[in-house]
A and B are shown apart, each in its own frame.
Chain A
Amino acid sequence: MSPKQAAKSQKAQFQKTEIRLSGSGGQGLILAGLILAEAAAIYEGKNAVQTQSYGPEARGGASKSEVIISNTEILYPKTTRLDYLLALNQESCDKYAHDLKEDGLLLADSDAVEHVPPIKVISLPLVRTARDKVGRIMTTNIVSLGALVGLSQVISVASLEKAVLSRVPKGTEELNLSALKYGLELAEEGKKYLEE
């Protein structure tokens, strides 16, 4: 580990990480937030708070789920300055991109989000991967989680896997593990793209 990396990992140890998952209602973002928070809180022993905001509709409408992960007590449970933002549609990208920290990362769906702001962005075909490669568009949330964790390493893949398995419906474990795998692969592609 280079000194720069070491300093970064030490910083990460004391900092709190603020993540927002956004898109439209019905995309499973609240479940994704819950899985992320559970992976951090239960399987990694950190503190985590997950909150959400959604409209009165059952489907459609704007939906967001927020997760704060920290090694110390979390008081105010909502995010203020984001480290990571997942945007699955243009509306949520436009609405929330300015909440990112200067060095924060926007992870956007490359098909749904056409216009991205001039900040650190990785655009990946999250919905398309869920639909075409995993075979179920419903797994967009898990593909996205895989990509987000692969890029951010805010928790370990092993913890994420455990949390996914404990929360998805019975009989869909294989499907969701495959979604996770595709998400992690996307993250690898995304990293290259960021380095370029």
Chain B
Amino acid sequence: MPEKTVLMQGNEACSEGAIAAGCRFFAGYPITPSTEIAESMSEKLPRVGGKFIQMEDEIASISAIIGASVGGLKSMTATSGPGFSLMQEGIGYACMAEIPIVIANVMRGGPSTGLPTKTAQGDVMQARWGTHGDHFLIVLAPESVKETFYLTIKSFNLSEKYRVPVILLLDEAIGHMREKVVIPDYGDILTEDRLVPIVPPQWYKPYEITTDFVTPMAPFGSGYRYNITGLTHDEMGFPTNKESEIISKMNKLRDKIMRSTTDIVDYESLYTDDANTLVITFGSASRSAKEAVQYLRNHRRKVGFFRPITVWPFPEKQLRQIIKKVDQVYVVEMNQGQLIDEVRKVECYHKKIFGINRYDGEMITPNQIIAKIREAK
């Protein structure tokens, strides 16, 4: 398909990116403000030989994509807060069983059913810690429709490469916003596929501890018989209570992500060379924050900008380098302060760290950010 310029919603860009990345299975239950992802996937998937299923609820949806992924297909679902809560059990299962899946969570106001048609960024911590147990996963947060397209592709690539659930953290503002996007020729898009075993079935260890902690994954039905369970398991996939095997498994889940942060972690920084004030933000809030930073720069304030693109793993090292040069830090987010705690972990002793928050369902404005930074001096 040749390059094309289109006006599309963030949600549509997400499904466009999914198809480009090779996603061929979607199971979901519609929920505002994510419904357009399901809607456009139901239209696109059959055209490329994929399958779309509308399930009875979100628990069934995540279970179905886990099953499809075990069967060898790149699979995803899309939801919003209430559905994302229901999916947590399945996310934990996919972490433990090391099954690649992509979940788009288009955030809306919460808690509970909250504000279906309004925007918020309240699921930052839920995306990381929503499922129980000591686990590791990847969360990406785009700031524009264009970036949604590319980060959806990246979500699939990382998910396949590291056999891990990847959460694409959108919000209502990005999901429903329409912008111009240049969709490249699919042939120019770099896609990753999971490793498959090269050893014969009788030698295959489905959870072998390898040097990079990622084990090749044999699709069910390809002649490789193995056990998959949510119970802590050994290299053969069978439940274990042996301490050494438990430790190996837990470390494997951590190290496959945390030893590859140079490959996984992505961020954007602007005007940080001479900055004495740093604005940190993510997702749709960064649109307002960038406009505010540009305005303050034009008024001779030395303000820098930092945006984690991978919210998890958080770009700690990169932020530490920048934060040590500034005097004060502002964390802009559409919640009552979640990402700010990660910033405090990076540098909590010497800097003044302030939150700039909005949580009434509307997007934070550049003026609110400018006013708060100006009142400081």
Contacts and interface: CB of A to CB of B under 8 A. Distances in A.
Interface of A: 34, 37-38, 41-42, 47-56, 74-78, 80
Contacts, number: 59
B180 A50 contact: no
13 contacts: A37-B7, A42-B5, A42-B6, A48-B179, A48-B180, A49-B177, A49-B179, A50-B7, A51-B177, A54-B117, A75-B287, A75-B288, A80-B365
A53 B361 CA distance: 10
A80 B368 CA distance: 12
Contacts of B32: 56
B173 interface: yes
B190 to A, nearest CB: 26
A77 B177 contact: yes
B165 to A, nearest CB: 29
A38 B179 CA distance: 9
Contact of A76 (B5, B6, B117, B291): B291
B51 interface: no
A78 B179 CA distance: 12
Contacts of B117: 53-56
A50 B288 contact: no
A51 B176 contact: yes
B176 A76 contact: no
Nearest to A52: B176
Interface of B: 5-7, 32, 116-117, 173, 176-180, 287-288, 290-291, 294, 362-363, 365-367
Given A75-B288, A77-B179, 7 more contacts: A48-B7, A48-B178, A49-B177, A49-B179, A53-B117, A55-B117, A77-B287
Given A56-B116, A76-B291, A76-B366, A34 B178 contact: yes
B7 A41 contact: yes
A75 B362 CA distance: 16
Contact of A51 (B5, B173, B290, B291): B173
Interface of B is mostly: mixed
A76 B287 contact: yes
B35 to A, nearest CB: 12
Contacts of A54: 117
A107 B128 CA distance: 47
A109 to B, nearest CB: 24
A77 B7 contact: no
A181 B62 CA distance: 49
Max chain A CB contacts within 10 Å: which of B178, B288, B367? B178
Q: Which 5 A/B pairs are nearest by Cβ-Cβ distance?
A: A75-B291, A50-B178, A41-B180, A38-B7, A76-B291
B2 to A, nearest CB: 16
Contacts of A56: 32, 116-117
A63 to B, nearest CB: 10
